[in-house]
Structure 1
Amino acid sequence: MTTDTATDVFEAHRPVLLGVAYRMLGRLADAEDVVQEAWLRWSAADRSGVHEPRGYLVRITTRVAIDRLRQIKSRGETYVGPWLPEPYATDFGDAVADTAERAVLADSVSLAVLVVLESLSPLERAVFVLREAFGYPYAEIAAMLERGEAAVRQLAGRARKHVDERRPRYEVDPAQRRDLTERFLAAATEGDLDGLVALLAPDVRLVGDSGGKARVPLRVVESSDKVARFLLGAAHKGVPDVSFHFLELNGGPALLVLSGSEPDSVFQLDVAEGRIQAVYIIRNPDKLRSLAALG
């Protein structure tokens, strides 16, 4: 395999590799570092015996991501306030024509699921991502991780049970989420407290991520009245030269708020039974840099 061919093959699989690494790590910069390391290993490897490049590359990427995840956990990183994954621009487009497959991919990269995955061990997380998001057979996952198939099945069972117990049950209809996001924006910007409360479930949760670098609550806010009053107070303070843009992030509609040309915040809503069940706000500037070109 020539160098040019090796490059072409790797680039053809890069989106999948980035998808695996991002789901493992929840951070785009770390995911991109992992994919770069996978490229270095791929380019230096003897590829003459590689008959399935995608599986080979996913194996490399997964192992590097596990190592990176272990390093992050061993450093015992502290984070100011709630942690949310870095927003990830997703547009499955025509590459995923099957509606069921599209829903699985969207769910596997949702903020709610990625937050739950943070509490899994690196191996559990790898097995969950490879099995649930990408549909790899247990035998193939076992080969990738150099574990027995029975052990992999046990890891998968524990991970699935953990995720099912902790993941909120939200609808994923993008049209309904987009409609509620637009009504949410209108009520918030118009200062309509009653209208905003009417959109929120009584036990709605607001989770804000700033890393201590912007104004959001350092604890989860609960109840429709408290959430609505916080949002209206934040809107009243205003953002200079503000503009709003709808786009798809983490498998669903989201609202990007720009101050001039710079990303200020991202809002995403989880919806069930026609009401907003959760409001996610990401304002950590380190997590918004990649969105500057999307506004």
Structure 2
Amino acid sequence: MIENTRFEDAAAGFEPLRPKLTRVAYRMLGSVPDAEDIVQDAFIRWMNIERSDIREPEAFLRRTVTRLCLDQLKSARRQRETYIGPWLPDPVVEEEEVEDVTLPLMLALERLSPLERAVFLLHDVFGLGFEEVSATIRRDPAACRQLASRAREHVRSARPRFQIEKQRGLALAEAFFTASRSGDLKTLGAMLATDVSIHADGGGKRPAAIRPILGFDAVMKLFEGLANLFKTTTFIRAAFINGLPGFITLEADGELQTTALEIEDGKVAAIYVMRNPDKLKHLH
């Protein structure tokens, strides 16, 4: 009975914070299941401490999650060195555009050290002061400011440059799907920027280009070659995927796929395709 009460008390304080903590962990790691595991680990620790001594539960748990993520990033970096083809973060499907961390920015964060990534996210994205960031990563505030400055230099070009209106973004995504899957190459070509690129993550589990496809001609050639295969694609729905307009499909092999579109000046500048079934499990 006492143990049940202890568990219920711990859960009552933790569960309202779980979505925020998962958001921090996902943006640190780029993996939905890993983020969920980290947050669950934090809950187990929360359940086994003397919680009456914690004056600010949210700050305490955010520190715990961030530190667990920093440990995880060390092994994650080694795994990505042997990853087959381009690595993309797990797709997170949202009804609205999320401005803080879009897919291009998450890719830019991969170039940062774990500490730079933590400082940038905690300070620039989640709005924490440097004193709190300092306590979280166990570095003095001056060092945290230097880490943040270096991080900004690396990711400046990947920050969202403009906001696309929700319905406009979803309409562009649906139009792109229709043109690309129907073989209407003229309409498709009119939607693409001259320096458009395709980044497809198959993880060695499904066919995908092992290097990004760069430039208008190469991208059009790929779509032309896939035209017949695309005819068996089933459109599920349009949505914002990691902050970018896109869509979810059921492909010819019976597996799900997400496609996210980076839009610049009304043109599709980059196409991010997730085909790795391990990264799509949570969408089922």
* Counterpart pick for 1:41 among 26, 40, 45: 45
- Relative to structure 1, the CA distance from residue 183 to residue 116 in structure 2 (aligned partners, 3 Å threshold; closer, same or farther) is same
Q: Name the SS of the counterpart of 2:94 in structure 1.
A: coil
Q: Name the SS of the counterpart of 2:53 in structure 1.
A: coil
Once residues 109 and 133 of structure 2 are traced to their aligned partners in structure 1, the CA distance between those partners, rounded to angstroms, is 18
- Paired position in structure 1 for 2:108: 116
1:51 aligns with 2:67: no
Once residues 211 and 221 of structure 2 are traced to their aligned partners in structure 1, the CA distance between those partners, rounded to angstroms, is 15
Give the 5 Å matches for 1:180-191.
180-191=172-183
- Asked if the contact 1:90/1:249 (under 8 Å) is kept, the reply is yes
- Relative to structure 1, the CA distance from residue 75 to residue 280 in structure 2 (aligned partners, 3 Å threshold; closer, same or farther) is closer
- Asked if the contact 2:88/2:107 (under 8 Å) is kept, the reply is yes
* Counterpart pick for 1:137 among 114, 129, 137: 129
Residue identity in the other structure for 2:34: D
- Paired position in structure 2 for 1:246: 238
1:215 aligns with 2:219: no
Once residues 200 and 111 of structure 1 are traced to their aligned partners in structure 2, the CA distance between those partners, rounded to angstroms, is 19
- Paired position in structure 2 for 1:28: 32
- Asked if the contact 2:173/2:261 (under 8 Å) is kept, the reply is yes
- Asked if the contact 1:256/1:263 (under 8 Å) is kept, the reply is no
1:19 aligns with 2:23: yes
Once residues 240 and 253 of structure 2 are traced to their aligned partners in structure 1, the CA distance between those partners, rounded to angstroms, is 19
Once residues 243 and 161 of structure 1 are traced to their aligned partners in structure 2, the CA distance between those partners, rounded to angstroms, is 39
- Asked if the contact 1:34/1:61 (under 8 Å) is kept, the reply is yes
- Relative to structure 1, the CA distance from residue 132 to residue 90 in structure 2 (aligned partners, 3 Å threshold; closer, same or farther) is farther
Once residues 76 and 243 of structure 1 are traced to their aligned partners in structure 2, the CA distance between those partners, rounded to angstroms, is 31
**More moved, 67-76 vs 4-13:** 67-76
CA-CA distance at 1:248 after TM superposition: 2.8
Please identify runs of 4+ aligned residues in structure 1 that moved more than 6 A: none
Count of residues in Structure 1 that have an aligned counterpart in Structure 2: 279
Tell me the percent identity: 39
Q: Name the SS of the counterpart of 2:260 in structure 1.
A: strand
1:149 aligns with 2:141: yes
- Relative to structure 1, the CA distance from residue 29 to residue 262 in structure 2 (aligned partners, 3 Å threshold; closer, same or farther) is farther
- Asked if the contact 2:103/2:244 (under 8 Å) is kept, the reply is no
- Relative to structure 1, the CA distance from residue 33 to residue 147 in structure 2 (aligned partners, 3 Å threshold; closer, same or farther) is same
1:176 aligns with 2:190: no
> Which segments of 5 or more consecutive residues in structure 1 lack a partner in the other structure?
93-102
- Paired position in structure 2 for 1:125: 117
Once residues 79 and 91 of structure 2 are traced to their aligned partners in structure 1, the CA distance between those partners, rounded to angstroms, is 23
> Which segments of 5 or more consecutive residues in structure 2 lack a partner in the other structure?
none
Question: Cα RMSD over matched residues?
Answer: 2.2
Once residues 64 and 89 of structure 1 are traced to their aligned partners in structure 2, the CA distance between those partners, rounded to angstroms, is 25
Q: Name the SS of the counterpart of 1:163 in structure 2.
A: helix
> Structure 1 length as normaliser, TM-score?
0.88
CA-CA distance at 1:200 after TM superposition: 0.2
- Paired position in structure 2 for 1:86: 90
- Relative to structure 1, the CA distance from residue 246 to residue 113 in structure 2 (aligned partners, 3 Å threshold; closer, same or farther) is same
1:275 aligns with 2:253: no
Residue identity in the other structure for 1:23: R
CA-CA distance at 1:187 after TM superposition: 0.9
- Relative to structure 1, the CA distance from residue 91 to residue 210 in structure 2 (aligned partners, 3 Å threshold; closer, same or farther) is same
CA-CA distance at 1:52 after TM superposition: 1.2
- Relative to structure 1, the CA distance from residue 229 to residue 159 in structure 2 (aligned partners, 3 Å threshold; closer, same or farther) is same
> Structure 2 length as normaliser, TM-score?
0.91
Once residues 163 and 139 of structure 1 are traced to their aligned partners in structure 2, the CA distance between those partners, rounded to angstroms, is 23
- Relative to structure 1, the CA distance from residue 279 to residue 75 in structure 2 (aligned partners, 3 Å threshold; closer, same or farther) is closer
Q: Name the SS of the counterpart of 1:86 in structure 2.
A: coil
Residues 30-65 of structure 1, C-alpha deviation per residue, up to 9 Å, x if partnerless?
111111111111111111121211111100000000
